Amino acid sequence: MSTTVDRADGANSPDSSAPAPAPRATGKGVPLAYAGSGLMTASALMSWCYDPDVLGDLTLYGNPAPVQLTMLVLGLLGLVLAMSAKGPLRRLGAGLDTSRGAFRLGLGAVAYMALTLAAITAQAGGLVNADPGAWVALVGSLVLVVAGRLGVSRPSRNIGAMRAKGWVEILVLVALVAIALLLVADGLTLRDPWAFVLLLLGVGAAAAGLAGANAFTWLGVTASYHSRVLTLAAFVAAFAFPLTQNGSDANMSIATQVIIFSATALGLNIVVGLAGLLDLGYIAFLGAGAYVGAILSGSAFATIDWQPPFLVTVIIGALFSALLGLIIGSPTLRVSGDYLAIVTLAFGEIFRLAMFNLDGNNGPKITNGPNGIPAIPELNFFGFDFGVTHHLFGIPITRFSNYYLLLLCVIALIIVIFSNLNNSRIGRGWVAIREDEKAADAMGVNVFGLKLLAFAGGAFLAGLAGTIKAHHDVSVTPDQYQFLESAFLLAAVVLGGMGTVGGVLLGAVVLKLLPEKLRFFSEYRLLIFGLLLVLMMRFRPEGLVASKRRKLEFHEDDEHLADKVQTIHLEEKTS
Amino acid sequence: MNDIPQQLVNGLTNGSLYALIAVGYTVVYGIVQLINFAHGEVFMIGAFGALSTWFLLFRDNTSVWVLPVMIAGAIAASVATAVIMERIAYRPLRHAPRLAPLITAIGISVFLQEFVRLFYGTIPGFPSAKSKIPFPAIDGVTGSPFHLGSVVIQRPALFTMGALLVCGLFLGWFINKTKQGRAMQAVSQDPDTARLMGIDVDRIIVIAFALGAALAAIAGVAQGLQNNNIDFKMGFMAGLKAFTAAVLGGIGNIQGAVVGGLTLGVAEALATVFVTGAWKDVFAFGLLILVLVFRPQGLLGARVVDRA
């Protein structure tokens, strides 16, 4: 691509943050980039710390510990960027914004090293304990930042149009999924909070570098070409996860909680993300399902002495939730959207208070009030007892793994519903309502009916997940379903990216995993989530993983983006 | 049933509290069509501001002249919170899609609660806010109740009702007689024309936030006096109820907020008589839903809310 084309592109998007492309001056940055990433790579093979007890053993030469391996990966990534700027990978470089990528990768690596040095200072008692390797890594990262700064940023290069052979693309996607699985399995085993944060930061640095280089644009386009392969690979990885745990429950119990949370967040995503209805009482629908599940479970404390087969219970629980959704939704969906938020919030409180009061003193005895319904028996599916450990190819599948696998099926169901709806007449109706209700109405979209469908449908899915959650949690109490949980779910949806599946899953996993792994974090988690909601709305309202359409809604003036979205839609139509 | 007069008094007391907070929702909504979810937290910050003033200046002194200073401290804290909130979080989102400011408001609300819970106790000499903190019992406005026949009227209840009366009169004067107040009316009718007439709309919005915050702060002090304690969660339920009151009266209509607050308070009290106290909150929210179905413009009627 020649400079003139770059300039033309730049002129098309005057308000994109790109600096005006100057005449070629990459030369200065490239040697520095080689040097910086070379130093980073080499540092991983050196000793970082005098004290062998810090962050695993960092004292050895030529034998990198996990913390150093992360730096090795970052360094190699830097080398790849440098090589594609000028070197053997030039063809790859034609589509990459190597300078910006190097700059961001470098910044991430600097942050990584700063935290590593902080950990060494805190744990080994002083910065003197840091060995040359750590300093080499820091210097290398700084050099990479400078290199990125000196190079010319070319944000307009269209890497999305670059296509490799089909099988190569699929291989890349599958490899990425496998890496993600390994990272999660590995990250969960880290007991040291410093090491865990460092791993996160390392992944963040790599992601920042790749995003800076526009590699994610390519990934996004490729993933949408091979979306089935990707989904399948992700599910295989998720199903394989319990097998990597070797019968240990420590991580599976966290994973199961994460997955319950993700399933609920995905349900909320249909309501908030697709239809644009802000539902602040979503947790109450989960609770309604859980209570139905508990009451019909045959627990000794259940107030109704009827235990239907679990499939019937699931359907009753889901329908009951959907019915509640209809009762709340039908009056409020007629008025303004702002009201819906408050009424659902009030409904959430009504639900909690009602569960509190239906204790036999203040009302009929249905829920045992604040004590809830304990001792819910394990699920039993056609003789398959979820409470005991089963064996698959000799690998133990524990109680938590059983629930995990079942919930994974629920998530799969929700994703199938979601993606089918998203591309259907109903989904387009929702988007139209979300963007402009009056215009949608004028175009003949059944506004009220579709809103009610989204609301009740979301409630249905939450109720479904709730019935399983009741069995998993063993007991159901009103306090599990308070407003903060709804806010927490909303935070996951907003953080990840409203209206996307991948984003919401990412958001849910991050938000649920962090407090579990970091004790220090759990005290401040709500503070941070509150702040996160405000900051996200201010600076990146479309979320970490943005759906293109959604992004455009939040950045209406960005004509460059509008053109892009239009091209993608046309491509979808013609292909 | 002979406790109906007593319950009416209780209802009016709670209703006055709701009304004081509801004004904040209504004033802001009338001007920027924004439901400031975090307003309940402004109320909570007001109560904490009053308590902090007392701790800093008058520790162990409960004479009645302390109260005005405490109220001033409460107003300062609340107004500062509300203005900063508007400036940092809401103003950049003024033309964003409707969902964005709502989510921001929830974020602010959670953030402020947690901020108070985690950090109030770290200020030297202040108690931890992780559980309820006793609120000083000021002489004269707390203490032995008055008896009117069989009806018992607590002194803080009188303070609350009196505060609503004074604030109501002040609001009436401010909105109708002062230049700023009339500018507020103009902006709420037509922001674009108001701007053309030389009104600084940004300034008016800040004034609306500050006005609501000041009233919420007074309500915070009243709540502290009534319950003898305050905690970081007090804003959540009070905010919800006050919003219900604002909708009941017709959101955007200031008289409506007062009427709605009093109506809600009395309705809750009557529910306590005829049903049971445990279901009173459920009753209030049920009322909210009923109003939305049958009279979305509220009792006194405001401009019908027409924002999708």
Q: Are the C-beta atoms of B222 and B75 separated by less than 8 Å?
A: no
Q: Across the A/B interface, how many CB contacts are shorter than 8 Å?
A: 143
- Torsion angle (degrees, nearest 10) of CA A99, A103, A108, A113: 120
Q: Which domain holds residue B177?
A: 4-128+141-294
Chain A hits for B244, CB-CB cut-off 8 Å, are 346
Question: Residue B207's pLDDT band (boundaries 50, 70, 90)?
Answer: very high
A521 interfaces chain B, CB cutoff of 8 Å: no
Of all helices (H) and strands (E), which one includes residue A122?
helix A98-124
DSSP B236-297: HHHHHHHHHHHHHH-TT-HHHHHHHHHHHHHHHHHHHHHS-GGGHHHHHHHHHHHHHHH-TT
Chain A hits for B288, CB-CB cut-off 8 Å, are 342-343, 346
Closest-CA distance, A375 to chain B, in angstroms, reads: 27
Pick the residue from chain B with its C-alpha nearest to A346.
B285
In tens digits, chain A (575 residues) has pLDDT values of: 333 333 333 334 344 444 444 434 456 778 888 888 888 888 888 888 877 777 777 777 777 777 888 888 888 888 888 888 777 777 776 677 778 888 888 888 899 888 888 888 887 777 777 788 888 888 888 888 888 888 776 655 556 566 667 777 788 888 888 888 788 777 777 777 778 888 888 888 888 888 877 777 777 777 777 777 777 888 888 888 877 777 677 778 888 888 889 989 988 988 888 888 888 889 999 999 999 988 888 777 777 777 788 888 899 999 999 999 998 888 777 776 677 887 888 888 888 888 888 877 777 777 777 788 887 888 777 767 777 777 777 777 778 888 888 888 888 888 888 888 877 889 889 888 888 888 888 998 888 899 999 999 999 999 999 998 988 888 888 888 888 888 888 888 888 888 888 888 888 888 887 777 766 667 787 888 888 888 888 888 877 776 666 666 666 666 666 676 666 555 555 54
CA–CA distance, A70 with A195 (Å, rounded to integer)? 11
Task: For residue B133, tell me if it sits in a domain.
Answer: no
The question of ipTM being above 0.95 is answered as no
Closest-CA distance, B75 to chain A, in angstroms, reads: 24
Each domain of chain A, given as residue ranges in start order, spans 3-233, 249-541, 545-575
* Cross-strand bridge partners of residue B147: B152
Q: Domain containing B251 — which CATH number?
A: 1.10.3470
The pLDDT value recorded for residue A240 is 80
Residue pointed to by tokens 């519903």 = A417
Shortest CB distance from B110 goes to which of A437, A487, A541? A487
Closest-CA distance, B222 to chain A, in angstroms, reads: 24
Shortest CB distance from B106 goes to which of A332, A356, A487? A487
Q: How many domains does chain B have?
A: 1
Terminal-residue alpha carbon distance, chain B: 45
Token pair, residue A206, equals 């790599």
A335 interfaces chain B, CB cutoff of 8 Å: yes
Question: Residue B115's pLDDT band (boundaries 50, 70, 90)?
Answer: very high
Chain B hits for A362, CB-CB cut-off 8 Å, are 276, 278-279
Q: Are the C-beta atoms of A470 and A481 separated by less than 8 Å?
A: no
Residue pointed to by tokens 């590699």 = A215
The pLDDT value recorded for residue B37 is 84
Task: For residue B299, tell me if it sits in a domain.
Answer: no
Task: For residue B174, tell me if it sits in a domain.
Answer: yes
The pLDDT value recorded for residue A398 is 78
Among B152, B171, B248, B151, smallest CA distance to B212 is for B171
Q: Which of residues 244-283 of A touch B (CB under 8 A)?
A: 272, 276, 278, 280
A557 interfaces chain B, CB cutoff of 8 Å: no
Chain B hits for A350, CB-CB cut-off 8 Å, are 281-282, 285-286
Contact A336 B308 (CB under 8 A): yes
Q: Residue type for B137, please?
A: A
The CA-atom distances, in angstroms, between A109 and each of A55, A64, A132 are 17, 17, 16
Among B33, B35, B87, B104, most A C-beta atoms within 10 A, so best to mutate, is B104
Task: For residue B304, tell me if it sits in a domain.
Answer: no
Residue pointed to by tokens 């009504």 = A350
The pLDDT value recorded for residue A2 is 37
Q: Residue type for A365, please?
A: K
Residue pointed to by tokens 């913390």 = A67
The pLDDT value recorded for residue A116 is 86
CA–CA distance, A210 with A207 (Å, rounded to integer)? 5
A553 interfaces chain B, CB cutoff of 8 Å: yes
Contact A278 B305 (CB under 8 A): no
The pLDDT value recorded for residue B303 is 52
Task: For residue B234, tell me if it sits in a domain.
Answer: yes
CA–CA distance, A538 with A286 (Å, rounded to integer)? 30
CA–CA distance, A411 with A264 (Å, rounded to integer)? 9
Render pLDDT for B30-76 as a digit per residue (tens, 0 to 9): 888 888 889 999 999 999 999 999 999 888 888 888 999 999 999 99
Largest CA distance in chain B: 59
Q: How many residues are there in chain B? A: 308
Among A388, A385, A384, smallest CA distance to A397 is for A388
CA–CA distance, A531 with B107 (Å, rounded to integer)? 6
Work out the number of other CB atoms within 10 angstroms of the CB of residue A149: 16
The pLDDT value recorded for residue A17 is 41
Contact A534 B89 (CB under 8 A): yes
Task: For residue B307, tell me if it sits in a domain.
Answer: no
Chain B hits for A276, CB-CB cut-off 8 Å, are 99
The CA-atom distances, in angstroms, between A377 and each of A380, A448, B281 are 9, 41, 33
Shortest CB distance from A533 goes to which of B35, B104, B240? B104
Contact A350 B285 (CB under 8 A): yes
Contact A436 B288 (CB under 8 A): no
CA–CA distance, A152 with B18 (Å, rounded to integer)? 60
Contact B240 A339 (CB under 8 A): no
Pick the residue from chain B with its C-alpha nearest to A369.
B278
Closest-CA distance, B297 to chain A, in angstroms, reads: 10
Q: Are the C-beta atoms of B49 and B185 separated by less than 8 Å?
A: no
- Torsion angle (degrees, nearest 10) of CA A192, A72, A202, A110: 110
Shortest CB distance from A335 goes to which of B100, B279, B305? B305
Task: For residue B306, tell me if it sits in a domain.
Answer: no
Share of chain B above pLDDT 70, in %: 97
The pLDDT value recorded for residue A321 is 94
- CATH 1.20.1250 holds for A249-541: no
